[in-house]
Copies of this chain bind each other. A is one copy, B any other.
Amino acid sequence: MSKIKYPNRIINLRNYISENKLDGIIISNEENRFYFSGLKSSAGFLFITMDNLYLFTDFRYTELASSQAPGWDIKKITSRFGWLPEIIKKSKVSNVGFEAEFTTVNTLNLLEETINNSDVKVSLVPTTDIAMTLRAIKDEEEITLLRKAIEIGDKAFEYTEKNIEIGMTEKEVAWIFEKSVREQNAESISFDTIVASGKNAARPHHATGESKIEANSTIIIDCGAKYNGYCSDLTRTIVLDDANEKIKNIYDIVHMAQLAAIDLVKVGMTGEECDSIARKIISEAGYGDFFGHSLGHGIGLNVHENPNVGPKSKFVIKNNMPFTVEPGIYLQGWGGVRIEDIVIIIDNKTQVISKAKKINL
């Protein structure tokens, strides 16, 4: 049998299985299946016990599975759970976990029916956030891919900034970014690019549209690339032509808040503690009510994943856990400023991975 791609990820998962008195687990979420097995596929299940690694998928992916998921026992399925009773019997398992945050009510019903209509006995045990907790800490291969995704996103942003012009539509600007991402051989953008000019910049999640890029007001560009599954996420606020004093003042507050947070985040802090570093500075400047989102979020195979770096988060920051630092101030009828980088703490030292230049106002 060939060697599996990610032995440490399986060891971590098996530790969870045994600590939680399970005998096996069904992994159904698409990114989680990829994370443990290495196979990218839109459908299928992993069934992982202390002794075996089964990968169930349909005719579209069985051939690909042999090359992308070496070391897994690959089974071709023709029905959703027809394969389950036999494998349970063979594996002699009695407590099997499933991903309750990703499994629908109908899917669980089908799972239970399949078991009840067979001659096997097994308890299906709901689990939550197992893979998502493991995935918060990235291994070396993941950090390399993430750095590459960020590099592509940075370059595409800088190319966009060079080519943006007053009077273009927001959509046209977003398309410049996307083309650059794709021409660097990334698989796609990692989320719908946000380009918000003028008053639109007051909406943190503005839907990029036909509005024209304006001079002398803030333009928020929030953008990311996806490379080999890993997502980047970058925000810059720029101004075409002159920035007035109000823009400069608000930009400086957000920028100071961001630099302070980057400087002071430490291993062992909660997401809430990290968030409060930036929030305190913005509040003391009088804009506390206008920073209406979290300071940041983890990033990896999903754009938003653990750790949550927001006001109520008890998630503890550890080494090798990349996350965004993106404070903002948004004033309705005026515009907004947000500045976002991805940071990671390695060996207790904070690195800023994002390199896209920031403006000098």
Whether a CB of chain B sits under 8 angstroms from the CB of A63 is yes
Give every chain B residue within 8 A of A40 (Cβ-Cβ).
207
Give every chain B residue within 8 A of A100 (Cβ-Cβ).
104-106, 109
Give every chain B residue within 8 A of A205 (Cβ-Cβ).
60-61
Contact with B along A49-90 (1 / 0, CB 8 A): 000000000011101100000000000000000000000000
Contact with B along A85-117 (1 / 0, CB 8 A): 000000000000000111111101100000000
Whether a CB of chain B sits under 8 angstroms from the CB of A203 is yes
Whether a CB of chain B sits under 8 angstroms from the CB of A333 is no
When the two chains form their complex, are residues B108 and A101 in contact, meaning their CB atoms are under 8 A apart? no
Q: What is the count of identical protomers in the complex? A: 2
Task: Give min CB distance, A337 to chain B, whole Å.
Answer: 18
Give every chain B residue within 8 A of A103 (Cβ-Cβ).
104-105
By the criterion of a CB under 8 Å from any partner CB, how many residues of chain A are at the interface?
Answer: 26
Residues 9-65 of A contacting B (Cβ, < 8 Å): 40, 59-61, 63-64
Task: Give min CB distance, A80 to chain B, whole Å.
Answer: 13
In the assembled complex, the Cα of A205 lies from the Cα of B60 at a distance in Å of 6
When the two chains form their complex, are residues A207 and B64 in contact, meaning their CB atoms are under 8 A apart? yes
When the two chains form their complex, are residues A59 and B105 in contact, meaning their CB atoms are under 8 A apart? no
Find the B residue at minimum CB distance from A207: B64
In the assembled complex, the Cα of A343 lies from the Cα of B76 at a distance in Å of 32
Whether a CB of chain B sits under 8 angstroms from the CB of A7 is no
Give every chain B residue within 8 A of A207 (Cβ-Cβ).
40, 64
Give every chain B residue within 8 A of A268 (Cβ-Cβ).
none
In the assembled complex, the Cα of A105 lies from the Cα of B179 at a distance in Å of 39
Interface centre among A64, A103, A106, A175 (most CB of B within 10 A): A106
Task: Give min CB distance, A335 to chain B, whole Å.
Answer: 15
Candidates B60, B126, B179; contact of A203 at CB < 8 Å:
B60
When the two chains form their complex, are residues B105 and A126 in contact, meaning their CB atoms are under 8 A apart? yes
Give every chain B residue within 8 A of A175 (Cβ-Cβ).
182
Candidates B60, B64, B104, B203; contact of A104 at CB < 8 Å:
B104
Candidates B59, B63, B104; contact of A101 at CB < 8 Å:
B104
Task: Give min CB distance, A327 to chain B, whole Å.
Answer: 17
Whether a CB of chain B sits under 8 angstroms from the CB of A204 is yes
Give every chain B residue within 8 A of A59 (Cβ-Cβ).
292
When the two chains form their complex, are residues A60 and B204 in contact, meaning their CB atoms are under 8 A apart? yes
Whether a CB of chain B sits under 8 angstroms from the CB of A283 is no
28 contacts between A and B (CB under 8 A): A40-B207, A59-B292, A60-B203, A60-B204, A60-B205, A61-B205, A63-B203, A64-B207, A100-B104, A100-B105, A100-B106, A100-B109, A101-B104, A101-B105, A101-B106, A102-B104, A103-B104, A103-B105, A104-B104, A104-B105, A105-B105, A105-B108, A105-B126, A106-B126, A106-B128, A175-B182, A178-B182, A179-B179
Q: Other than the known A105-B105, A178-B182, what 9 A-B pairs have Cβ atoms closer than 8 Å?
A: A40-B207, A59-B292, A60-B205, A61-B205, A100-B109, A101-B105, A101-B106, A105-B126, A106-B126
The 3 closest A-B pairs by CB, nearest first: A60-B205, A100-B105, A101-B106
